[in-house]
Structure 1
Amino acid sequence: MKNKPENPSQSSRRGFIKESALALAGFYIVPRHVLGGPGYIAPSDKLRVASIGVGGMGYSDVSGVFKSGKADIVALCDVDDTRAARARKDHEKAAYYKDFRIMLEKEEKNIDAVTVSTPDHMHAVQAMMAMKMGKHVYVQKPMSHDIYEARMLTEAAEKYKVVTQMGNQGSSGDGVRQMIEWYNAGLIGEANKVWSWTNRPVWPQGIPWPSTPITPPADLDWDLWLGTAPYKDYVGNLVPFNWRGWWDYGTGALGDMACHIMEPPFRVLGLGYPTSAECSVGSVYVGEFQRGYFPDSCPPSSHITLRFDRPGKEELEFHWMDGGIQPTRPEELAPNEIMGDGGNGVIIEGTKGKMMCSTYGANPQLLPTSRTKEVNVPQTEYRVPGGDRGHYSNWVEACIAGHGSDEFKKLSSPFSIAGPLTESVLMGNLAIRSYDYRVPRPGADNQFDYPGRNIKLVWDGPNMKITNFEPANQFVKRTYREGYSF
């Protein structure tokens, strides 16, 4: 049967509807940068990622982001060609650079996000440059080397409306969420004391800087590796791991582990800036009864005490111990039960009881541990799919959805949370460095006083300033080497 010819009125009406539909489509289909603003990525797109530092933990970060299934690695950067080789093989189409500044400038239009997995002293300058370009960032822990850097990164994340995440993957685990639910249910009452500890360092600390420089490996750009730090000749036993024990580059046992271990009680108790810090450190002896003084190196062990004011509540006392120092074993723990995971852990003491966990907030337990199976509280906290293994996807999904989205609100460790946590961690290092600050003793040859000892440093968090010992403030912020800015 032949179709009847349309009458003019039907044709005009259908043409109007068709034209209207096209007009509406033209109105709604707009460029992604217009729709979502800076940093917005259309849901149908994959996240285009550039990675700075792609050996060691950097390789794990690149792989974790890629395995989310929603990201493409389009550029790689590393100062060490040998350590970068595995990532370059996995992502053969990715452009490769040695200088992050050149990479970000050349790839600015080709990338949406950046991962930063370099030594601690480079985190802030690399993340800040990316954020100023409107790029989302994932930064390994600690998110900065200095307190000032942590504050500036936190403020920049909000200013530039980018999606951020620190690489403390335990914050995406179920353990910390379980502890929040237990605490909010009142199972241990009001917390008044926290104990946290680690068996780190497992690298040299409390040692003199090597006296004999050597030639850097041919595949390592030593000048770029130094980056913001003062220039020094290359020495052995530093790269790729033992830099952690030197203040110019690393942040010691605190920087390595506290973002994993202090994070659960920090989140459970909703802590902000500490109000004071004090410490003691382990001694290193050189010769008979002589304490070595090595101010360039982190100490072999330390005990930090931070205090936090909480409006309407008792002041919280927060202890950190490293180098194998541990708190007194709780009487609620049976003789054959492991405290934490043996070498690391957390105990939160409350007015009605205690709870404990391992590194990353894993294996949360009420004490005595028999209570753990006896209680059942409602699940109120969001669980990240895959737990700590979903930490990368947690960030990738939020980057794709954009700043302020529902996925953004599900982030485990955005800078709004990671920033104050990092500042508290680094406050411990400020106390350590103040403890070892020395001045010549008047009228005595080769004798010194240590005015930063036997003192509780009072911290003005909003203004980032120690109010009762001015020399301590030199450790709030570093001066960068020429060629690097923040």
Structure 2
Amino acid sequence: MSNQKNSSRRDFIKNSAIAAAGISIVPRHVLGGTGFVAPSDKLQVASIGVGGMGGADVNNIFKSGKADIAFLCDVDTVRAKGSVEKFPKAKFFTDFREMLDKEHKNIDAVSISTPDHNHAIQALAAMQLGKHVYVQKPLAHDVWEARALTHAAKKYKVVTQMGNQGSSGDGVRQMREWVDAGLIGDLVEIFCWTDRPVWPQGIQWPPQQKEVPATLDWDKWLGTAPQKNYVDKLVPFNWRGWWDYGTGALGDMGCHNMEAPFSIYGLQYVKDVQASVGSVYVDEFKRGYFPESCPPSSYATMTFPKTDKTVGDVKLHWMDGGIQPPRPDELGANELFGDGGNGILFVGTKGKVLADTYTENPRLLPTTKEYPKVPQKYKRVPGSASGHWAQWVEGCIAGYGKMEMSSPFEIAGPLTEALLMANLAIRGSDMRVDNKYPGRSLKLLWDNEQMKVTNFDEVNQFVKRTYRPGWEVNYTF
């Protein structure tokens, strides 16, 4: 994108937004009877990142029966092989910019399942062309990016969904019905936790560079991230533990385990956050300092303003790396706390409700007590969590504003901002200046309108990072 040709391509994509937004899908009732899905009625989907979780996303979108996988894009041809073989009619690209440039008129929607640091540039390019988007969690790498994507979804009137499939599950709807019925009383506080990371964190960047595999386009994989030499085992998974690419355990699992508080209590933007992190020692006496890497464990506390479902501000505690909150007294000695490694706990004035990862298996505590039967109030998603992808496909076919999505950017955006705000506190608490850690023990105060921390300016550099030349992410609110 640094040369003139690619600059022209970028301008073309931007300027094509209005024309592309006019592309529509003929309603199925015009083309056939009940249960009939004509080829022209199927959503034409392009997928960026089609190995690993991307492959699962492509498969689940296709399983809806109402989408054609028309285009595939991946910078790693080995990782893409499974999807390419499964969808041989799909045209394959290694550059998403080229795909959108050449094929935007033939694309209705775009699925994005790439590393965190490239979500925003890819999603914005698609939305500016009027394409509906499905983006894997977390929605973005930085706070500013999350805000930009939330704004863009409304501006371009596209159907959006983040890939936190638990938001389509029955569990979160059951919990919401219990909360609405007053079974736990007024909310006191919320705890969410995970046993991740299951990849290296709190380590030094490997000193030896490795030869880039012939099947991987390293420059395109880096995308918006700083130029660095390729290192062993970074791809396809260990990038999550490095701040240049990933967002740590909080970014990986926060969108799953923090979704229920947002959708049930209507949480929005954080007003303050504080954090502490686990230490790493390079020898018996010396603490390691590896600012490029996410810490091995962290504990963050976020404060949210009062909502119409709470009596005051809301405290949400996040823990990762194996840290867990104290077991509730109402939980039996041999009962699993969450699912053993992950969990969600609402503490109310009258009771408590506990759930596993993805808000599965919700139960009121103590589980031995009988509770009033609460009638179903909220419509379930067909297929529960497994129906998350099909819901998005249906929504795209119906059109913007015609169907309720489980995790549209209007919810996913503030949720992602919250966990990225917590990451500001995590990075700030581990920031060393003149052999001191001035960010420790601070409560970061957040100016939501200006999108800046007002009492520790050093972390504001991470609200919107500096992009690699030629890969800038630009958006005007």
Q: What TM-score do you get using the length of structure 1 for normalisation?
A: 0.89
Give the counterpart of 1:52 among 48, 57, 81: 48
Q: Secondary structure at the match of 2:68?
A: strand
Residue 432 in structure 1 maps to residue 419 in structure 2? no
Give the counterpart of 2:272 among 272, 276, 294: 276
**Residue equivalent to 1:173:** 169
Q: Secondary structure at the match of 2:377?
A: coil
**Residue equivalent to 2:322:** 324
Q: Distance in 1 between matches of 2:173 and 2:295?
A: 33
Kindly provide the CA deviation profile for residues 252-289 of structure 1, in whole angstroms up to 9, marking residues without a partner as x. Answer: 00011010001112211111111100000000001122
Q: Which moved more, 1:110-119 or 1:456-465?
A: 456-465
Name the CA shift for 1:162/1:399 in 2 (closer, same or farther; >3 Å). same
Asked if the contact 1:39–1:161 (Cα under 8 Å) also holds between the matched residues in 2, the reply is no
Residue 162 in structure 1 maps to residue 146 in structure 2? no
Asked if the contact 1:40–1:403 (Cα under 8 Å) also holds between the matched residues in 2, the reply is no
**Residue equivalent to 1:41:** 25
- What RMSD, in angstroms, separates the aligned Cα atoms of the two structures? 1.5
Q: Secondary structure at the match of 1:439?
A: coil
Kindly provide the CA deviation profile for residues 430-466 of structure 1, in whole angstroms up to 9, marking residues without a partner as x. Answer: 11111122222xxxxxxx1211111100112232111
Q: Secondary structure at the match of 2:411?
A: helix
Give the counterpart of 2:397 among 395, 400, 416: 400
C-alpha displacement at 1:158, in angstroms?
A: 0.3
C-alpha displacement at 1:39, in angstroms?
A: 5.6
Kindly provide the CA deviation profile for residues 184-235 of structure 1, in whole angstroms up to 9, marking residues without a partner as x. Answer: 1000011120111100000000000000001011101111111100010101
**Residue equivalent to 2:108:** 112
Asked if the contact 2:142–2:464 (Cα under 8 Å) also holds between the matched residues in 1, the reply is yes
Asked if the contact 1:395–1:411 (Cα under 8 Å) also holds between the matched residues in 2, the reply is yes
Q: Secondary structure at the match of 1:64?
A: helix
Asked if the contact 1:42–1:401 (Cα under 8 Å) also holds between the matched residues in 2, the reply is no
**Residue equivalent to 2:348:** 350
Residue 480 in structure 1 maps to residue 467 in structure 2? yes
C-alpha displacement at 1:467, in angstroms?
A: 1.2
Give the counterpart of 1:226 among 219, 222, 227: 222
Asked if the contact 2:201–2:241 (Cα under 8 Å) also holds between the matched residues in 1, the reply is yes
Name the CA shift for 1:39/1:143 in 2 (closer, same or farther; >3 Å). farther
User: How many residue pairs align between the two structures?
Assistant: 442
Q: Secondary structure at the match of 1:449?
A: coil
C-alpha displacement at 1:370, in angstroms?
A: 2.6
Q: Distance in 1 between matches of 2:343 and 2:27?
A: 40
Give the counterpart of 1:302 among 285, 298, 306: 298
Give the counterpart of 1:469 among 450, 453, 456: 456
C-alpha displacement at 1:471, in angstroms?
A: 1.1
Q: Which letter does structure 2 place at the counterpart of 1:318? A: L
Structure whose CA Rg is larger:
1
Asked if the contact 2:262–2:411 (Cα under 8 Å) also holds between the matched residues in 1, the reply is no
Q: Distance in 2 between matches of 1:256 and 1:121?
A: 13
**Residue equivalent to 2:415:** 421
Kindly provide the CA deviation profile for residues 79-103 of structure 1, in whole angstroms up to 9, marking residues without a partner as x. Answer: 0000101101111111111011111
Asked if the contact 2:191–2:325 (Cα under 8 Å) also holds between the matched residues in 1, the reply is yes
Q: Which moved more, 1:307-316 or 1:79-88?
A: 307-316
Q: Which letter does structure 2 place at the counterpart of 1:321? A: M
Q: Distance in 1 between matches of 2:106 and 2:22?
A: 14
C-alpha displacement at 1:375, in angstroms?
A: 2.7
**Residue equivalent to 1:9:** none
Q: Distance in 2 between matches of 1:306 and 1:320?
A: 8
**Residue equivalent to 1:387:** 384
C-alpha displacement at 1:369, in angstroms?
A: 1.2
Q: Distance in 2 between matches of 1:389 and 1:239?
A: 27
C-alpha displacement at 1:472, in angstroms?
A: 1.6
Q: Secondary structure at the match of 1:177?
A: helix
**Residue equivalent to 1:21:** none
Q: Secondary structure at the match of 1:103?
A: helix
Q: Distance in 1 between matches of 2:21 and 2:400?
A: 9
**Residue equivalent to 2:10:** none
Kindly provide the CA deviation profile for residues 408-440 of structure 1, in whole angstroms up to 9, marking residues without a partner as x. Answer: xx2100000100000001111111111122222
Structure 1 residues without counterparts, runs of 5 or longer: 1-32, 441-447
Q: Secondary structure at the match of 1:124?
A: helix
**Residue equivalent to 1:193:** 189
Asked if the contact 2:243–2:293 (Cα under 8 Å) also holds between the matched residues in 1, the reply is yes
Name the CA shift for 1:47/1:332 in 2 (closer, same or farther; >3 Å). same
Q: Which letter does structure 2 place at the counterpart of 1:436? A: D
Residue 99 in structure 1 maps to residue 86 in structure 2? no
Kindly provide the CA deviation profile for residues 57-92 of structure 1, in whole angstroms up to 9, marking residues without a partner as x. Answer: 000000000110000011100000001011011111
